[in-house]
Structure 1
Amino acid sequence: MNFKFNSWKRALPLFLVFLFPPEKSFSQKEVEHPKSSELKGNIVDFNLNKSLEYATVSIFSLPDSLLIKGTITNRKGDFLIQNLKEGKYFYKVEYLGYQNYKSKDLTLQENEKLVLNKSIALKVDTELISQVEVTGNRDFERIELDRSVYNVSNSLASNAGNITDVLTTIPKLNVDTEGNLKYRGSSNVKVLIDGKMSRLLGVSASDILNSLPANDVDRVEIISNPSAKFDASGSAGIVNIIMKKNRSKGFKGNTSIKLGTKNKKTGRTSLSLRTGKFNFSGSYSYTDDWFGRDYSSSLLIDDLNLVKSKAEIDYGKRVHLGQFGMDLLIDDNNTLSFNLSKQDIKQNWNGEYNYLRSDIPSSVMPEESFRDGSRDLDYNSMNYNMAYIHKFKRKGQQISIDAAYTDNSATNKGLYRDFGNILSSSMSESSDKFDAGRKEGLIQVDYQQALGQNGSLESGFMYRSNEIEFKVPIQTEENFDYKELIHSAYTQISGKKGNLGYQFGLRAEYSDVKTNKTYNEDYLDVFPSFHLSYKLSENKQLQLSYAKMVVRPNSGNLNPFQNVLDSLNQRLGSQDIRQYYTHKPELTYIYRSKKVTYTTNLYFQVRNDCIKLLRSLDSNDNTVLTSKNIDKTHYAGLDLNMAFKLNKWWSVNSYLTGNYQKFYSTKELDFKNRSDFGYFGGVTSTMRIPKLFTVQTKMTYYSEMPIAQGNSDETFHVDLTLAKRIMKKKAVVSLKVYDLFNSMKIATSTSDDRFKHRMRYQFENRIAYFTFTYYFGKKYSVLKTKKRKYVQEHKTKDI
């Protein structure tokens, strides 16, 4: 691969981050003192004596009050801070909606295992909700056995917008202006909310994420190798968004207005009321966006004919999304939840197309033609959710049931006018129309049981159905029906023994996918997974994982009928494709020091019968994109990640990936086997300037990357966010600019034995958004204090 000087110049800041870390030197070793002491305790709600999960516990040294370590509580409310030196300390406990707790001074002896003899009971903060930010000291990123966890709850820059704004702060994710995600260069990313598919059933993930406020997000999990607990579909991995679990009672809400350049606007309001027995929530959002989607292409056929096209497109989207939810806390061990959401979308495409056809040998003036095209889409959906959780008397044992059903419909109309040339009075007109309907249902049951002190056993099953109908008026032979049924069951065991952590799982899925055309497939698959973690030392850890995943042909891959805006650049479905499987081994090395965390990932993927979009020529020499199976692809990569804090107000998180891809063709396809190298990376910088504002900058760079039939050009862009609290910290204002330097250009080159094709996209990338978010409400206590139970262990102190 030929790297241009410009490529290296743009990527230089990425390499500097890794070459010059912000510590004095790793060669200047400090005198080590024994770190064998630990502090253990439990955090509960003062009124209900219920365990508080995700409470932040921070320990400080005396007399300098320096932060030494921090952790969060588990689902039982327990915390453990290990590897402490002998000395004097105090600790703080913080949890959103509760009053902070500061301990008395304590002294730890060498090798002392201190267990607090009383659970620390936090009282609900009854003041107005004026503190929007979680003031805990959790690291932005931490590595767990099977995932990377990003704690975004205290990020002011991300809390000022929607969930999509949160995802843009995570270095490993690439998020475009419309909320579409890429991870490790792939867009085949599955999005979950609280580990479930139910809230995103039958709707666009980007629409949901753009409508939910960022302040509701506690953390984001990136799972490159999903365990057997998760649905096996996909290939790039999972982005799991964990919402905040606010257990305090009271009324709260927020409202926001988001205004963007070129007539973009969004309004959103969400409310919740928690009474202890019944909890209610509701939200409504409206979005009205317009984007430019211009592009141009050149096509050389048999080295004789040259066809150039240019498109200028305006794309409009108006979305109404309403949601209502209710939780019924039957008792301490049983919770029943209901959720209803409705979405209405109107889309408009308006395009002007210009075509030039040239016969190179004849040198005759190019033949020019024009097309006006428009397409309107009306879409509405209803989504119904029910969830039930039962906690058994035995700690760590529970069962959860999730059920969801969605019913949506869409009407799509297109109108096209073709002109011979700019002076011609002749014009032909054509149109198309189809109605689409989808009914999708899901039932998921998960069971969990603790095994000893550090282990757990999990099992469950899931049933999912998806039925889609495309109906074309009069021409009934073009109607298209798609039906997918998935039955799955899994079991997995996890635990820890000494320095070794482990998780082993097995998932079985039976798939039945058919259409009213020629596609009809049913098959049984088994998906093993394992994750191993070994602690080499206090600050070094090694992980090894493996997962198998599947990508099934969806309705878009299979649908043979699609309306056509651009007659020269079409995209059609095919019935002649099949599912493919991805095998994903990965090795991870983690190094932590006081200020810096390095993570290195070495991974390899084998995708057999991989589905790719391939370009070909139809009988009229127009290019057509069609999904086809190629023989296989090999994908190898090396990730280098580094997170560090320069000081109390400035932190940086960065990554750099080098990869190698090889595409294997088949005898039926025109392109040859090919391979190439590429690299991409990003840097996210967050500066909290005291008494002024928070500024967050993210730079993302992709080198020239190989694709099955050619390559895509390098891309580079910078996003900038400024945020500040106002109105006595009850509100946040922010300014976010996507693609600050308007440098994001997308282009691809493809070829086969007959043609050479190049497509250049010029989307509207540099977009500025101003957001105002106001938080309001009041928290209160409604139940009397219950007698709290205390735990007594080997050596205890009342601190």
Structure 2
Amino acid sequence: MNLKFTYVKSALIIILICIFTSHVAFSINQSVEKGSSSLKGQIVANQSNKPLEFATISIYTTNNSKLVKGTITNKKGDFLLEQLSAGSYYFKVEYMGYTTYNSNQFDIKNGERKILTNPVKLGIDTKTISEVKVEGNREFSKVELGKTVYNVSKSPVADGGTINEVLNTLPRLSVDAEGAIQFRGSSDVKILIDGKISGLLGMNPAEVLNSMSAHDVDRVEVISTSSARYDATGAGGIINIIMKKDRVKGFNGSVAATVGTKDKKSGGFSGNYRTGKVNFFGSYNYKDDWAGRDYKVQREIKKEDVHTLLLENADVDFGNRYHIGKLGLDYLINDNNTLTFSTKYQDVLQNWNGRYDYTRTNIVSSAMPTVDYRLSAVDLDLQSWVYNASFMHKFAKKGETLSIDLAYTDNAADNSGNYWEHSYRDLSIEGIIASEVVTKVSSDFYKTARKEAVAQVDYVLPVGDKGKFETGYLYRNNEIDYKVGSLADDFNYEENIHGLYAMYSGSKGKFAYELGLRAEYSDINTNKEFKDDYLDLFPSVHLSYKFSDKKQWQLAYSRMIYRPNSGMLNPFQNLRDPENQRLGAQDIEAYYNHNIEMSMAFDKEKASYKTTLYVNYQKNLINQYRFIEDETNRSIVQYGNFDSKFFSVLEFEGSTKLNKWWSLSGYVAGIYEETKPGEGYKFGTRDMWEITGKVTSVMNFKKWFKLQASFRYQSEILVAQGKYQNLYYIDLGLSRKVLKGRGRLSFTANDIFNTFRFKIHTSDPEFYNKEVKYRETQIAKLSFRYFFGKRYRILRAKPKKSGMRHSENDI
């Protein structure tokens, strides 16, 4: 049955690709019908008569307004449209900040080389300029159908921080004990770059985002309830990071350097060179960063024959050094077709150097405690290549597009560890106190290799005045190999996902809607007798109603899936800290969840706010839990399927401008969650009420600097066997323009009072465990960035009612 389904599935994929390919080929052939005639002319500004470079010229047939060909002007403002057939035409000229020009009808004879006698003059469009000016001062957040969009490009933290650091300033987002981004307290979140999963291919998202400058981010879309457009993986939500698009003519870019407390330094370069139809872009980043990852453990084990107390103190330094380089190009075939290619190389070296002190006490006996300590040096050396290619085609019908994205990554890493364990044994004999030190040396070494490929096709077709139909296909293959040294211990993981979706959206009056259905076939297997394959349907519904321009209601529903990944299944144990191990399981299954969200958004003259009720129900969820191994009495953290989890939250989010230079934004949420582990576990159902909130203040002293302060509080939150204790912290960010605007100096200070501590308590009838993680969070950094090249074009427009001078980004 599975074999037959595979053949049918493959046939459908081939048919789909053939349909799309033939559609593109037909459209391109229509738009570039060859002939022997041509049209030549020049485009200039009306007031100054200066040539306009990169103006867009499109020529259409008169009888049916079909697009025939397009081009752009050169530095002299000249354009040439060749290979035209004899016929009747008109052409259109477009240039940002200027009015669109539509020519009169004219005829071209076969073989004629028609030259415009006079230059085409474009007048400044003051309405467009005003709109651009408003965009440059856009508000911090904006509610759209199915998502909230945050403008982070103006944040002081964005000038000198990483993407992780700027995400941590946003409402509903936070950072966990391992540095990973959480959404509403859950790490089960999908992160996209420019709407694609290919941007984070083959790497840990937390590590990648910590290596990318927040300065390159334009805005962040937070999607609580996913639509069928996106891959169905990820129960907690979606964070879509939209990067800045630098398509400025000529050579442009920036260089940056950062120094931080406790031996932290980084630097980088990014630039692009646009000439004619080709835009070359590239970047290089270097980082050398050491940070503390200390923790303390207090564990009491209570079994029938064992009653011991373990006190552990781990002093760990984590080093992260890398070189990341990227090269690529955009090729504008014509106005309707664009190709993009890029290659990224990453060389990453990580070191975990730690000392672990263990004090063990037998509570029921009078024996002296035993004291051991362990030295650990673990190194990871990784090299990674990522290849991307994309094609965008715009059809003659406005808004109809086809995009194809391909990505492939190949990375390999050597993981090695050396360990020195020192045990003190009591040798007291006949009242003579003595001790002996026993030293044990051990090591481990394993290789990891990962190959991942993604192919994605998306098609958009406008329907009527306000409707839109979307469809697409996604294929993802992910193969991970762990080579430990023996066939019995090696681990291989392979995942194949096929997804096909269809969506329709539209509006009628004040009512808007988006309806979608996604089908995904999953096939996951390992060499440890784990195999699972299934076909699922994932519906999504998004509705909104605008009571007015300032009041909007939304309702959304989606079904999602979470599949077991390689880390949950891998049985390999790292020997870095034997008393605290993580171990994969082979008997876990994918789980499904239902998301429902209802919200009301209000927009006042100087303030906007939003209230949301969100409910998430997960059945058969995958959750980690702790147990004490019978043979060794070590603590093991493993994943298993629980019966269910219910999560609900009522949240309030708002922002206001107190005056021209001071703005505030805030978020507060009341949460109730309940976890039912089900049968087979030694702990029962737990529930808890929680509260979390965040306040951010931005002060813009234009002649001096911009200052941002952020305060976050989180009450105790529930975990399966216990709870995280409350935490709070304050972050600061400051930036100032220097060197006549070409330089940017920024300073960030995270956790300025050193209060960011993760304290977790877990227990069952056999143990009580208290752990405090001292991940280094009190960090100060000073950054400088210098911009070079021509970045702005000044439009000297003087509307009658204002003598103000306007500027806009040159694209």
TM-score (norm. length: structure 1): 0.81
The aligned residue for residue 715 of structure 2 is 703
What is the identity, as a one-letter code, of the residue corresponding to 2:559? Answer: K
2:788 maps to which of 754, 769, 776: 776
Task: Look up the equivalent residue of 2:250 and give its one-letter code.
Answer: G
Name the structure 2 match of 1:322: 325
Q: Which residue of 1 aligns with 2:596?
A: 585
Does the alignment pair 1:188 with 2:188?
Answer: yes
Shift of residue 687, structure 1, vs aligned partner: 0.4
Instruction: In structure 1, give the amino acid aligned to 2:621.
Output: C
The answer for the alignment partner of 2:529 in structure 1 is: 518
Rounded to whole Å, the distance in 2 between the matches of 1:46 and 1:593 is 41
Residue identity matched to 2:253:
G
SS in structure 2 opposite 1:517?
coil
Aligned twin of 1:344: 347
Q: What code does the residue aligned with 1:747 have?
A: K
CA contact (8 A) 2:164 2:181 kept: no
Alignment partners' CA distance in 1, 2:125 and 2:163: 32
Matched, 1:472 2:475: no
Is 1:395 aligned to residue 398 of structure 2? Answer: yes
CA 1:291–1:160: 2 relative to 1, 3 Å: closer
| Structure-2 change in CA distance of 1:169 and 1:50 (3 Å) | farther
Residue of structure 1 equivalent to 2:262: 262
Note if contact 1:181-1:187 (Cα within 8 Å) is conserved in structure 2. yes
CA distance in 2, matches of 1:312, 1:212: 28
Contact 2:559 2:594 in 1 (8 A): yes
Residue in 2 that maps onto 1:242:
242
Q: Which amino acid aligns with 2:263?
A: N
- Deviation (angstroms), 1:246: 3.8
Return the match for 1:598 from 580, 596, 609.
609
Letter in 2 for 1:551: Y
Q: 1:244 to 1:616 in 2, by over 3 A?
A: same
The one-letter code sitting in structure 2 at the alignment partner of 1:308 is L
Match of 1:41 in 2: none
* Structure 1 contact 533–541 (Cα < 8 Å) conserved: yes
Work out whether 1:561 is the aligned partner of 2:572: yes
Q: d(CA) in 2 for partners of 1:489 and 1:119? A: 47
CA deviation map 1:405-441 (0-9, x unaligned):
0000011111112111296332111111111101100
Secondary structure of the 1:557 match is helix
Q: Distance in 2 between matches of 1:404 and 1:664?
A: 40
User: For residues 134 and 194 of structure 2, what CA distance do their matches in structure 1 show?
Assistant: 20
Distance of 2:636 and 2:436 partners within structure 1: 28
| Separation (CA, whole Å) in 1 of partners of 2:255 and 2:126 | 29
State the match for 2:654 in structure 1. 642
Per-residue deviation at 1:537? 3.0
Q: Does structure 2 retain, via aligned residues, the 8 Å contact 1:98–1:123?
A: no
Change (3 A) 1:46 1:180: farther
What value does the CA root-mean-square deviation take over the aligned residues?
A: 2.3
Whole-angstrom CA distance in 2 between matches of 1:157 and 1:414: 36
Structure 1 CA distance, aligned partners of 2:478 and 2:585?
19
Residues 136-191 of structure 1, C-alpha deviation per residue, up to 9 Å, x if partnerless? 22111010011000122333442344433432332322146985211101112211
Could you tell me which residue of structure 2 aligns to residue 502 of structure 1? 513
On the 8 A contact 1:158/1:169 being kept in 2, the answer is: no
Task: Write the mapping of 1:60-79 to structure 2, written as runs, cut at 5 A.
Answer: none
Residues 87-106 of structure 1: CA deviation (Å, up to 9, x unaligned):
xxxxxxxxxx97799xxxxx
Structure 1 residue 327: Cα displacement: 0.7
Q: Deviations over 1:719-741 (max 9, x none)?
A: 10111011111111111011011
Distance 1:164 1:511, change over 3 A: same
Q: Is the 8 A contact 1:134 1:154 kept in 2?
A: no
- Of 310-319 and 354-363, more deviation after overlay is shown by 354-363
Secondary structure of 2:171's counterpart equals coil
SS at match of 2:568: helix
Aligned-partner Cα distance in 2 for 1:177–1:123: 49
Any idea what SS the aligned residue of 1:621 has? coil
| Aligned partner of 2:687 among 675, 680, 689 | 675
Residues in 2 aligned to 1:556 and 1:119: alpha-carbon distance in whole angstroms:
61
* Structure 2 CA distance for aligned equivalents of residues 591 and 390 of structure 1: 38
1:368 is aligned, of 365, 371, 374, to 371
* 1:379-400, Cα deviation, whole Å (9 max, x unpaired): 1110000000010001110100
Residues 480 and 134 of structure 1, relative CA distance in 2, 3 Å threshold? farther
Contact 2:610–2:654, Cα closer than 8 Å, also in 1: yes
- How do 1:356-755 and structure 2 match up within 5 A? 356-421=359-424, 424-473=436-485, 475-618=486-629, 619-755=631-767
Q: Which amino acid aligns with 2:180?
A: N
User: Structure 1 counterpart of 2:660, which letter?
Assistant: K
The one-character-per-residue Cα deviations of 1:214-267 (angstroms, maximum 9, x if unpaired) are 333221100111110001101111111112234432210101001111001111
User: In the alignment, residue 519 of structure 1 is paired with which amino acid?
Assistant: F
How far 1:48 sits from its partner (Å)?
A: 5.1
Point out the more displaced range, 295-304 or 660-669. Answer: 295-304
Aligned counterparts, 1:9-158, within 5 A: 121=125, 136-158=136-158
CA contact (8 A) 2:191 2:239 kept: yes
Instruction: State the percentage of identical aligned residues.
Output: 44
Instruction: Please tell me whether the aligned partners of residues 124 and 779 of structure 1 are also in contact (alpha carbons under 8 angstroms).
Output: no
**1:236–1:220 CA distance, 2 compared to 1 (3 A):** same
Determine helix, strand or coil for the equivalent of 1:426. Answer: strand
Per mean C-alpha deviation after superposition, the further-off stretch among 687-696 and 482-491 is 687-696
Give the partner amino acid of 2:232.
A
Q: Is the 8 A contact 1:658 1:677 kept in 2?
A: yes
Alignment length (residue pairs): 668
d(CA) in 2 for partners of 1:262, 1:594 = 45
- Paired with 1:632 and 1:212, the residues of 2 have a C-alpha distance of 37
Q: Specify the code of the residue in structure 1 equivalent to 2:536.
A: D
Cα 1:198–1:497 change in 2 (3 A) is: same
Specify the SS of the correspondent of 1:466: strand
> Which residue of the partner structure matches residue 284 of structure 1?
284
What residue number does 1:763 align with? 775
State the distance in 2 between where 1:448 and 1:652 align.
38
CA 479–122 in structure 1, closer or farther in 2 if over 3 Å, else same: farther
1:170-185 pair list within 5 angstroms: 170-175=170-175, 180-185=180-185
Counterpart residue type for residue 505 of structure 1 = G
For the 8 Å contact 1:296–1:309, the answer to whether it is kept is yes
- For residues 156 and 127 of structure 2, what CA distance do their matches in structure 1 show? 25
Distance 2:145 2:52 in 1: 32
757-766 vs 525-534, which deviates more? 757-766
Change (3 A) 1:332 1:454: same
| AA at the equivalent of 1:530 | V
Deviation at 1:354, TM superposition (A): 1.1
Contact 1:698 1:719 in 2 (8 A): yes
* CA distance in structure 1 between the partners assigned to 2:672 and 2:349 by the alignment: 41
> C-alpha deviations, 1:268-307, integer Å up to 9, x for none?
1011011130000011111111011111111111173211
| Partner SS, residue 166 of structure 1 | helix
Provide the C-alpha distance between the structure 2 equivalents of 1:387 and 1:163, rounded to a whole number of angstroms.
24
TM-score with structure 2 length normalisation?
0.79
Partners in 1 of 2:527 and 2:451 — Cα distance?
16
Per-residue CA distance 1:688-734 (angstroms, 9 max, x = gap) = 01311110011111101111111111111111011101111111111
Q: Summarize the Cα distance change of 1:119–1:598 in structure 2 as closer, same or farther, 3 Å threshold.
A: farther
